[in-house]
Amino acid sequence: MNEVVVTSKRGGSSGKRDMDDLELPMFDFKIITMATNNFIEANKLGEGGFGIVYRGRLIEGQEIAVKRLSKTSGQGLEEFKNEVKLIARLQHRNLVRLLGCCIDKDEKLLVYEYMENRSLDSILFHKARKPLLDWNTRYDIICGIARGLHYLHHDSRLRIIHRDLKTSNILLDSEMNPKISDFGIARIFGQNQTEANTLRVVGTYGYMSPEYAMDGNFSVKSDVFSFGVLVLEIISGKKNRGFCYTNDDMNLLKNVRESDSSIRIL
C-alpha cells in the first residue's frame, strides 16, 4: 500500500503525531463541538457500528456532517487513518467528499460535506418519504452508484474494494444524487491483485457475497454482489433481511421473484 506523506497544521493531541502522514486539514475539536452544539441529540443524523453522525454548521455558515467514532466501536486509529487516506485521495461526483478530520485525546472525528437528503435507507424504507423516489429517480440513483463503484474499481489511481456497500452508506444530496460513503473497512488492491483473504470478516450480512461471508475471500466481485442487492432493494422498495428471517418472512430475492408487476414492485 502506498503511503501519503503530508503535514497537518491544526489539532493538538498526542494522537496528532500518528496523523502526520494524512493529506487533509485537521479541525480543532472545540470548533467541531461548537458546530454541532456540543453533539446534541437534535443534531443526530444517524448511527452505525462505528459511531454517530451529527449535523453541524461552521462559523462561516457551511453545513457539515461529523462522524464521531465510538470509543467502543472497535475501529481503532489504523482503521480511522485508513478511511481518511482513502477518501482524501478520491475525487468523484458519486463519492462523499471528506473536508477534514480531528483527533483529540481519545476522540476521533471525520468531517464530511452535508447531504441534505441523508442516507438512501432513510427514504427508501420510510413509508412517508418513499413516494419521493419515483422510477426515474431510482434509476438515476442506481446509475450514480454504478459510476462511483466503477471509479473505485477501475478509474481511480487506486483499485479500492469498499466491502460494505449498502443503503445506509449511500448518501443523497439536495438533488437526490447518490454518493458512496464510509470507507472504514475498504481495502486497496495492488495493480495486478485480483482478490484477497482475511480472517476478520467485517461488513453487513445480507450484502456480503457468500465467499466473503463464509471464507473471507473478497474482490471486485464482492462489491458487485453488494451492488446487486442494492439494485434489488431500490427497485422493489423492500429491505433485505440478511441470512435470518422467520417462516412468515420472504427474503429479498423471493419477494422480487413473486412480484408480478412493476406496480407491485414499486
Supply the residues annotated as catalytic.
164
Measured between alpha carbons, how far is 176 from 163 in angstroms, rounded to an integer?
A: 23
How far is Cα 139 from Cα 151, in angstroms, rounded to an integer?
19
Give the total residue count for the chain. 266
67 is in an annotated binding site: yes
Helix axes 135-150, 220-236, angle to 10 degrees: 170
End-to-end Cα separation, the chain, in angstroms: 43
> Which residues participate in the annotated binding site for ATP?
67
